[in-house]
Amino acid sequence: MTTSRSSSRRSVLITGASSGIGLATAHHLLDRGWCVFAAARRLDAMEPLRSRGAQVLSLDIAEEASRRQLAERINGEIGALDALVNNAGYGETGPVETMPVERARAMFEVNLFGLIGLTQLLLPPMRERRRGCIVNLSSIAGRFVTPGAGWYGASKHALEGISDALRMELHDFGVKVVLVEPGLIRTGFEAVNAKSLVLQQYDPVWGPMMRSVAAGWSEGFRNGSSPELVASTIASALETSRPKPRYRCGSASNAVLLQRFIPTRLWDALVRQRMLG
């Protein structure tokens, strides 16, 4: 059943809306007149959105019951979303050799399986209505990886692949699928990993590499772009009738263009020089 509120305004669900890119996107789309459903685990952090008229909903994207409860609420209230912004995600750093597989698996549960699990629940009404747009937040790490971020990059590579398949599958149903690939954005990503990075710097084998990685990240994120830039890019993708399959934005994102023309060995050497000194 569609409410009068949602019938007169374009509706969007934004996951991971309690901070960073998700929060900035929610504010930006509210500014542009969208009916915003903002979902995350930390409801208190979304109170400013609620005060502006957003519907604030609880979501632990890694939990099936939480995904299902949210989807039932959305599908029951408005029938079909105009847009879904799959922003919820996180990254952990560490050498491939030493990161426990259970931690890597947890990252995949959020960045890939939970994201697609929620999309599967929300997609049928959009497909049946034959319109809508799904924006998946990837990263330049979805196009190339750097030392110390292999597992995170792998989760984003997987998201890129599944998004490509979904885009082709939904083409004849009128539902668009877009990948947004931010570069270095000032969202506090590096701060979340600070404790882990510090501990890894004392590893007898990998400590020197991780110290270089930490220094490189500190410099890169200090000069990073604002979350509002990504929010504006997402809005542009949602508000055009023919969105591009991919949008790059933010600091260092143009490196994706260079990689296409550089032999792998040379690219590896350039990345090692940049990240490891």
**pLDDT of the residue at 192:** 65
Phi-psi region of 20 (alpha: psi -120 to 50; beta: other; left: phi over 0): left
**pLDDT of the residue at 61:** 97
Using an 8 Å Cβ cutoff, are 196 and 233 in contact? Answer: no
Count the neighbouring beta carbons within 10 Å of the beta carbon of residue 173.
Answer: 15
**pLDDT of the residue at 189:** 67
Cα→Cα distances 20→68, 100, 185, Å? 25, 27, 9
Tally helices (H) and strands (E) across the chain: 13, 7
**pLDDT of the residue at 2:** 40
Q: What is the phi/psi pair of residue 111, to 5°? A: -75, -20
Three-state DSSP state, 178: strand
Catalytic residue among 90, 152, 202, 247: 152
Residue with tokens 């990886």: 145
Per-residue pLDDT of the chain (277 residues; tens, 9 = 90+): 344 344 568 999 999 999 999 999 999 999 999 999 999 999 999 999 999 999 999 999 999 999 999 999 999 999 899 999 999 999 989 999 999 999 999 999 999 999 999 999 999 999 999 999 999 999 999 999 999 999 999 999 999 999 999 999 999 999 999 999 999 998 876 666 667 777 788 889 999 999 998 888 888 888 899 999 999 999 999 999 999 999 999 988 989 989 989 999 999 999 999 888 7
Residue with tokens 């034959």: 130
Helix residue ranges per DSSP H, 109-263: 115-129, 150-170, 189-192, 194-200, 207-222, 227-238, 255-259
Q: Which fold has domain 4-188+226-258?
A: Rossmann fold (3.40.50)
Helix 115-129 vs helix 150-170: angle between axes, to the nearest 10 degrees? 10
Three-state DSSP state, 137: strand
Residue 148 and residue 151: Cα distance in Å, rounded?
A: 8
What is the reported pTM? 0.92
Taken in order 68, 70, 76, 82, is the CA torsion positive or negative?
Answer: negative
Q: Cα dihedral angle (111, 147, 102, 187), rounded to 10 degrees?
A: -40
27, amino acid identity? H
Three-state DSSP state, 134: strand
Domain boundaries defined on the chain: 4-188+226-258
Q: Clarify whether 152 is annotated catalytic.
A: yes
Which tokens in the block code for residue 144?
A: 């190339």
